[in-house]
Amino acid sequence: MIAPLPLKPGDKIGLIAPSRNVIHDDLAEAISMIESWGYQVVFGKNLYDKHHQFAGKDEDRAEDFMQMVLTPEIRAILCARGGYGTVRLLEMLDLATIRNNPKWIIGYSDITVLHSYFNKVVGFETIHATMPISLKPSASGDSWQKLKQVLKGDLIDYQFEPHELNKPGKITGTLVGGNLSVLFSLRGTFCDIETDDRILFIEDLDEYLYHIDRMMMNYKLAGKLKNLKGLIIGGMTKMKDNTVPFGKTAYEIVADAVNDYNYPVAFNFPAGHCEPNLPLILGRKVILDIKSEKVNLEFFDKP
């Protein structure tokens, strides 16, 4: 797995919207913050376009992405928001050009499509992290300050609180994953991620509990959970239930799905549709150490 180079002061970050549409006011605060870090922000030509719910037509969003890839001065590509639509661009991307121009891809939620594409097909690490649309008064400063550290190439090491459903253990493996619903939608495609001998991270938002169960059962029956090195569960935010309750929380559904396996499992990692939304380098080797009193996630300094 190739790690794009760390950013230096004066480097440029391309800002695109591969999914839903955005307006300038949604992004202004994040743009100012990134510029205060010493980076220049370059806007995609079609960034503020609108085509139904999308940020412009598919070919225009794909054009913005490829233009950022082709511009040597741009060292990272930051996605403005998620929603839905990134998957519609995949067939328009030039794989050979992308492989010849390594740069960081940053985002979460629907941007899981790009994480899966880059980790599985391209062979590059990516950064699962907060996006400009998420920078609101209620947002945690940790989400952005940690992203700043990752872009600089600093080593990151997270400690977080244990959870009653955790399964203890210490393992080393490559971290993959993202939004569970998006990962589920990529099953059977060329972007379906490899999970054997990997540490899988999942999170989700605004799903019915029985949908979470359906997706976890699909992953279990497909053998995608059996040979994991470990599992990390982030935010399961704003879950919904039917009039007749499903009878389990999202965390309990996940715990039941992996109950037959002996690898370590860590719940309640602060990443996903939650605050803080700490950055994760997907495709990077990590050490996951789950103890009764604390959980530690440490990233290696090289792929």
Q: Could you report the per-residue pLDDT of 74-84, keeping only the tens digit for each?
A: 999 999 999 99
CATH class of 12-152: alpha beta
pLDDT of residue 135: 85
For the chain, counts of helices (H) and of strands (E):
8, 13
Could you tell me if 108 and 133 are in contact, meaning their C-beta atoms sit under 8 angstroms apart?
no
Q: What's the whole-number mean pLDDT along residues 188-192?
A: 97
Would the CATH topology of 12-152 be identical to that of 157-299?
Answer: no
Residue 276: asked if its preceding bond is cis (omega within 30°), the reply is yes
Residue 58 burial (C-beta neighbours within 10 Å; 0-12, 13-18, 19+): middle
The domain limits of the chain are 12-152, 157-299
Q: Name the residue among 127, 129, 109 with its Cα closest to residue 118.
A: 127
Report pLDDT for 166.
98
Predicted confidence (pLDDT) at residue 16 exceeds the cutoff of 70: yes
Task: Give the mean pLDDT of 179-197.
Answer: 98
- 0.95 surpassed by pTM: yes
Work out the mean pLDDT of the chain and round it to a whole number.
96
**Phi and psi, residue 113, nearest 5°:** -55, -45
Which residues does residue 92 pair with via DSSP β-bridges, in sequence order? none
CATH architecture of the domain covering 157-299: 3-Layer(bba) Sandwich (3.50)
Whole-angstrom distance, CA of residue 206 vs CA of residue 286: 29
Compute, in degrees rounded to 10, the torsion defined by CA atoms 156, 162, 168, 173: -20
Cα–Cα distance between 283 and 174 in angstroms, integer? Answer: 6
Examine the pLDDT at 21 and tell me if it is beyond 80. yes
Question: For 259-272, how does the pLDDT look when each residue is reduced to its tens digit (9 = 90+)?
Answer: 999 999 999 999 99
Residue pair 162/292 in contact by the 8 Å Cβ criterion: yes
End-to-end CA distance of the chain: 6
State whether residue 178 is helix, strand or coil: strand
Under the banding of pLDDT at 50, 70 and 90, the label for residue 125 is very high
pLDDT of residue 302: 73
Question: Over the stretch 22-43, which tens digit does the pLDDT of each residue have?
Answer: 999 999 999 999 999 999 999 9
Of 122-131, 136-145, 174-183, which gets the smallest average pLDDT? 136-145
Helix then strand then coil, in percent of the chain rounded to 5, is: 30, 25, 45
Q: What is the pLDDT of residues 129-171, one digit of tens each?
A: 999 999 875 565 899 999 999 999 999 999 999 999 999 999 9
Residue 140 pLDDT: 59
Give the pLDDT confidence score for residue 303 in this predicted structure.
63
DSSP 120-177: III-B-EEE---GGG--TTS-HHHHHHHHHHHHT---EEEE---TT-B-EEEEEEEEE
Report the pLDDT averaged over residues 51-61: 98
